[in-house]
A and B are shown apart, each in its own frame.
Chain A
Amino acid sequence: QSVLTQPPSASGTPGQRVTISCSGSSSNIGSNPVNWYRQVPGTAPKLLMYNNNQRPSGVPDQFSGSKSGTSASLAISGLQSDDEADYYCAAWDDILSGPVFGGGTKLTVL
């Protein structure tokens, strides 16, 4: 059982915009920034977004992040087949004194 809650799956067609939600509580998302990771099965995760909406260099602007209260979301526009991957949200938790992750959302491009 993950501390942060994500839908297990999401899907869209090429060119479409999809959003992935991430729900937490006052001790994590409500108090601290959210980071997002992308993981192609069998490979290591990759940082996609940090501090809610900041993209590391090399991450295209088709990815955007937002946060409101105890929830956050990742939006992917102009969906492409190679966007298929697992997406994880994460945030520092003040009670657990460590980062906590969502359970991951498997994105499928139809």
Chain B
Amino acid sequence: EVQLVESGGGLVQPGGSLRLSCATSGFTFRNYWMHWVRQAPGKGLVWVSRINGDESSTNHADSVKGRFTISRDNAKNTVYLQMDSLRAEDTAMYYCARARQYCTTISCYYDAFDIWGRGTMVTVSS
């Protein structure tokens, strides 16, 4: 069974750090782009970060650039999100998601999130 399980969330003070983990199983991990998506309480989905299969390419949303770092360990089938200099507005449920590849006549895309974890809650508050 394909599965993603996030961990590492919790309560942290503004300016603090957290490291989220997403343990995966049931598929060839190194073949997939992996993403983090967050959702503030009562709000919509917001993309955070992505990383390709061999860790040679990463992207972050402008709102977290310079503060968050995505990484992965293909030997452990796990993707991470290091979050530093946390702010109150970072409070959200953080989901790990696998990206399905699909191609059009023009290009190939890696932004259809076909498998999601259950999420881990991050609360930034003093």
Contact = CB atoms under 8 A, between A and B. Distances in A.
Contacts of B50: 98
A94 B95 CA distance: 23
B102 A50 contact: yes
Interface stretch (B11-19, B22-30, B73-81, B106-114): B106-114
A102 interface: yes
Nearest to A86: B44
By size class, the interface of chain B is 20 to 34
A56 B62 contact: no
By size class, the interface of chain A is 20 to 34
B104 A101 contact: no
A92 B102 CA distance: 13
A34 to B, nearest CB: 10
Contacts, number: 66
A47 B47 contact: no
A19 B61 CA distance: 30
Main secondary structure, interface of A, reads strand
A44 B119 contact: yes
B67 interface: no
Contacts of A43: 118
Contact of B100 (A50, A91, A96): A50
Contacts of A97: 59
A34 B62 CA distance: 21
B117 interface: yes
Interface string B17-42: 00000000000000000010100000
A103 B119 CA distance: 19
15 contacts: A2-B44, A37-B113, A39-B45, A43-B118, A45-B37, A45-B95, A45-B113, A46-B116, A90-B47, A98-B61, A99-B35, A101-B44, A101-B46, A103-B44, A104-B45
Instruction: For the complex of A and B, list the 5 residue pairs with the smallest distance between their C-beta atoms, beginning with the closest.
Output: A50-B112, A44-B116, A104-B44, A99-B111, A101-B45
Given A44-B95, A46-B116, A101-B47, 11 more contacts: A39-B45, A44-B118, A45-B95, A47-B113, A50-B100, A50-B102, A50-B112, A51-B102, A51-B112, A92-B111, A102-B44
